Amino acid sequence: EPEVTQTPSHQVTQMGQEVILRCVPISNHLYFYWYRQILGQKVEFLVSFYNNEISEKSEIFDDQFSVERPDGSNFTLKIRSTKLEDSAMYFCASRADLGMNTEAFFGQGTRLTVV
């Protein structure tokens, strides 16, 4: 069964450092998302991406964040200068289309710890 894969599964970084979280969406999907979930809190939308550009982004997705689809398979989230409060699980998701009942498939997440 096709799945969304994310690497690394865990990342520890020092405050102020740049991190890149990587995702390989399901191959025929068109819409890509990043969500985050701070420990014990709700899933929060960060950004959606379609046709090689950002479709929507939340208030969380400030200038420190960027996304890229550098080739036909990878979808990356970059945090330029990490802060302690960026520590969270980051989930990548993809959807085939925006039609009714089209579910988002989630990767297993990257646990980012900023120290």
Partner 1 sequence: GQNIDQPTEMTATEGAIVQINCTYQTSGFNGLFWYQQHAGEAPTFLSYNVLDGLEEKGRFSSFLSRSKGYSYLLLKELQMKDSASYLCAVGTNSNYQLIWGAGTKLIIKP
User: Which is closer to partner 1, CB of 15 or CB of 43?
Assistant: 43
User: What angle (nearest 5°) sits at the alpha carbon of residue 23, between those of residues 55 and 59?
Assistant: 40
User: Which is closer to partner 1, CB of 82 or CB of 107?
Assistant: 107
Asked if 87 interacts with partner 1 (CB under 8 A), we say no
DSSP β-bridge partners for residue 34: 47, 92
Asked if 105 interacts with partner 1 (CB under 8 A), we say yes
CA 96, 98, 102, 103 torsion-angle sign: positive
Show the site string, 12-51: x = touches partner 1 by CB under 8 A, - = not.
-------------------x-x-------xxxxx--x-x-
> Does residue 8 have a cis bond before it (omega within 30 degrees)?
yes
Give the nearest distance from C-beta 60 to partner 1 in angstroms. 12
